[in-house]
Amino acid sequence: MRFTRRLLLASLGLAFSLGAGPSMAQDYPARPIKLVIPQAPGSGADAVGRMLADFMSRDLKQSVVVDNKPGANGIIASQMVQKEAADGYTLLLTSVSLVSFNQFLYKNVPYDPLKDFTFVAPVSDASFVLVASTASGIKSWDDLVKKAKANPDSVTYASAGTGNSTHLYTEMIALRSGMKLRHIPYKSSGPALMAVVGGETDVMTVVTATGLAQIKSGKVVGLAQSGDTRSPQLPNLPLIKELAPNVPALPGWYALVGPAKMDARITQKLAASVNHFLSDPAMKQKLIDQFLFPIPGTPADIQKRAESEAKTWGGLIRDLKIQLD
């Protein structure tokens, strides 16, 4: 009799535990969600994250609270989220650098960026422009190629730091176009761009939102822009893909991820909310005004994209023998 009672209680407990998962997923979200941003307030990631959090709070009818955790090129924020419960209440606005570059740039990344997270949805992609100093004498793409090939290593380029997208993309452009340029790294994009404005360095790849004003004011020369279509603000500036078709597009995307092994129903609910955000006319226009282009999609879409970027840019990082502490 005692054995039968214990067996019955165990069976009831098992049934309850099996039923808890669907119920939790069905009721999600039942409390506030934390969205971790791997950059400081006022950064590009912070701007996107706060827009997304505000919209999702209304869409999911539950608060989405931003938590800024800058440092170590996103590793601090990523490791924090990776260790959280996979219940959908702690999420990360990650970027291509965090999931596709870091494992090649750093000796000891304390997680596998492609395996230790649940990919939820792509969010937006940034565009970039290649600019030249007015003091360099470079006034077009052809001028750059001609000058760089005539005197290898004589043309300098600024970047926001070794291993930064602005570094890797300029190297990719040079490599695929038969040029050899000399890298001058700075601590961030601001000082790097000012070095080009002041004639200390010759060229730079910079996000369009930052470089546009300098191009419009004539302080730098626009040489080319990334992306698939010309920006309405720069209709006469050619695309890099038009000038050098074998140069892959520079990824500057953000995506929403969570800890590994999140419930698929929770993931799909979050992905749907992100896509509602991207299709909302007002939100879409706000992103475009900042040269951040909506990239609606599924969890599988962004995971595939992250894996593809890792192959392309990880290979470049290995070839350049870049290694950060």
| Residue 22's pLDDT band (cuts 50, 70, 90) | low
Q: Where are the domains of the chain?
A: 31-126+252-320, 128-225
| Residue 25's pLDDT band (cuts 50, 70, 90) | confident
- Tell me whether the CATH fold assigned to 31-126+252-320 matches the one assigned to 128-225: yes
Q: Which two tokens stand for residue 178?
A: 């038969």
CATH class, range 128-225 = alpha beta
Q: What is the pLDDT of residues 267-306, one digit of tens each?
A: 999 999 999 999 999 999 999 988 899 999 999 999 999 9
Q: What is the pLDDT of residues 91-115, one digit of tens each?
A: 999 999 999 999 999 988 999 999 9
| Residue 55's pLDDT band (cuts 50, 70, 90) | very high
Residue 1 has pLDDT above 50, yes or no: no
Rounded CA separation 97/290 (Å)? 20
CATH architecture of 31-126+252-320: 3-Layer(aba) Sandwich (3.40)
pTM score: 0.86
Residue 7 has pLDDT above 70, yes or no: no
In terms of C-beta density within 10 A (0-12 exposed, 13-18 middle, 19 or more buried), how is residue 319 classed? exposed
Rounded CA separation 325/319 (Å)? 18
Tell me which amino acid residue 220 is: V
| Residue 23's pLDDT band (cuts 50, 70, 90) | low
Q: What is the pLDDT of residue 143?
A: 97
In terms of C-beta density within 10 A (0-12 exposed, 13-18 middle, 19 or more buried), how is residue 23 classed? exposed
